[in-house]
Amino acid sequence: MKKEKQILSLLCLASLLTLFLTGCASKAKATGNEPKGSEVLIGVNIELSGTAASYGQATLKGINYAVEKINESGGVKLNGDKKKIKLITKDDTSNNYQTAMAASNLASSAKVSAIVGPCVSASFAAALPKATEAAVPTVAPAGTADTLTLKKDGSVQPDAYRACYTDSYQGVILAHYAYQNLKADTVAILGDKTSDYSAGLIKAFKGAYKGKIVDTQYYQAGDKDFNATITKLKSENFKALFVPGYYNEAGLIIKQARQAGIKAAILGPDGFSDDTLFKLAGKENVTDVYYTNHFDAMAPANDRVKPFINSYKKKFGEEPSGFTALGYDAVYMIKAAMEKEQSVNSIKVAKGLASLTNFEGVTGTMTMDKNHNPKKDVIVVKFNHGVKVSAAAVR
């Protein structure tokens, strides 16, 4: 009996602790973070190591450069004063557990006003609950999964925003581009059966494409030998091959398809956008290859693009990549939201992000829709012999 009373007491104590913690969470959600110091605090939760490190490292270059330019001009304009930005950066190691812990640290311990990152959709989804508990808005620079900004019931996540377009948007653009621009009335698809990214692109492409899809085949992430599937596809008659996946597999698919004698145009999403694709494919094989991108000097979105490219090249000796440009825009989006609301309170920053209108970023002039997705142009680039020969803005 004594033991039962002890157990009951422990259960009561646990219940009280749960109520206390829930109350704390509710209070945090009601008020948000509002740094009181002389600096604006922005968190960065990004892939600096692990499998997605190339994306994260390129994005961080743009984030750092944006903060440098903003601070050079005095900082964020707030209530007649200017405050410089201080970044607090965490490497999520391309691991979903680590990214959740980093989000928790930034939102609940560092008390930042907003967070940029991670890049990869799955990592962003893992990080978001921890940021939401503290009512801190999080901007995905490159996470394109359609569901990223939505709850399970389809309503919008109040603290999830993105600087890039969605998978369904780029899937539709690629379907229209294949049929209208490339005059490809027959297409074969080779997608990643283990990836939500690939599945979303295939669904969007099939829904929008007006020609005939002669075959859909699948691989899984990590595969190296695609020859059997490519041989099967070669027996089909198609004018374009759609490969909705990432550069690691796409580079090898392009190489093996060309070696097998497939001369059809090859199309892919923004996951192609990495130099590794060209190393794996061999530059000579990257001919009549097209993919979507978020930014390109050959298709400037507005008057901000040229000065951005010139100043970046002068400082770093290289052109900014699409991921770099998205990281740059994500920081400026947060700055615009703070200045619109004249506040660094995280709830008000979220309100400012939700109402961004005609925001001129280097990746395009964008307006946030009701699901926190920016509406802007998609860039489609073409390569011959590993050299970019054209880029066009498509909407």
Cβ–Cβ under 8 Å, residues 120 and 52: yes
Average pLDDT over residues 194-222: 95
The mean pLDDT of the chain is 91
Q: What's the mean pLDDT in 96-124?
A: 95
Q: What is the pLDDT confidence band of residue 19, given thresholds at 50, 70 and 90?
A: very low
Number of other CB atoms surrounding residue 351 within 10 Å: 16
Query: What share of the chain has pLDDT > 90, as a percent?
Result: 81
**pLDDT tens-digit series, residues 187-203:** 999 999 998 889 999 99
Closest CA to 277 of 142, 386, 120, 171: 386
Q: Considering just the CA atoms, what is the radius of gyration of the chain in Å?
A: 23
pLDDT of residue 21 exceeding 60: no
Q: Which residues of 110-127 are buried (b: 16+ CB within 10 A; e: fewer)?
A: bbbbbbbbbbbbbbbbbb
C-alpha dihedral sign at 353, 358, 363, 364? positive
Query: pLDDT (tens digit, 9 = 90+) per residue, 290-300?
Result: 999 998 889 98
Residue carrying structure tokens 């190489």: 255
181 closest CA partner among 144, 210, 150? 210
pLDDT of res. 30: 54
Q: Region 3-15: what's the mean pLDDT?
A: 46
Q: Which of 188, 277, 177, 174 is nearest to 230 (CA)?
A: 188
Q: Is the pLDDT of residue 13 over 60?
A: no
Provide the pLDDT confidence category of residue 24 given band limits of 50, 70 and 90: very low
Amino acid at 258: R
Transcribe 339-381 into DSSP letters: HHHT---HHHHHHHHHT--SEEETTEEEEE-TTS-EE--EEEE
Straight-line distance from the first to the last Cα atom of the chain, in angstroms, rounded to the nearest whole number: 73
**What is the per-residue pLDDT for 27?**
44
Q: How many residues does the chain have?
A: 395
SS3 187: strand
Residue tagged 């097998």 (tokens): 260
Query: With 80 as the cut, is the pLDDT of residue 23 above it?
Result: no
Report angle CA 233, 167, 272 to the nearest 5 degrees. Answer: 55
Q: What is the per-residue DSSP string for 307-328?
A: HHHHHHHHHHSS---HHHHHHH
Cα 197 to Cα 159: distance, rounded to the nearest angstrom: 22
Q: Where are the beta strands (DSSP E) in the chain?
A: 39-46, 76-78, 81-91, 114-116, 138-140, 160-162, 186-192, 212-219, 240-242, 265-268, 289-293, 359-361, 364-368, 374-375, 378-384, 387-394
- The pLDDT of residue 20 is above 70: no
pLDDT in tens, 79-97: 999 999 999 999 999 999 9
pLDDT in tens, 226-281: 999 999 999 999 999 999 999 999 999 999 999 999 999 999 999 998 889 999 99
Of all residues in the chain, the percent with pLDDT exceeding 70 is 92
Please give the structure tokens belonging to residue 363: 């990746």
Report whether pLDDT(216) > 80. Answer: yes
Q: Give the alpha-carbon dihedral of 111, 116, 120, 124, to 10 degrees.
A: 40
Distance CA 133, CA 115 (A): 13
Choice among 12-16, 36-40, 103-107, 112-116 with the minimum mean pLDDT: 12-16
Q: How confident is the model at residue 8 (pLDDT cuts 50, 70, 90)?
A: very low
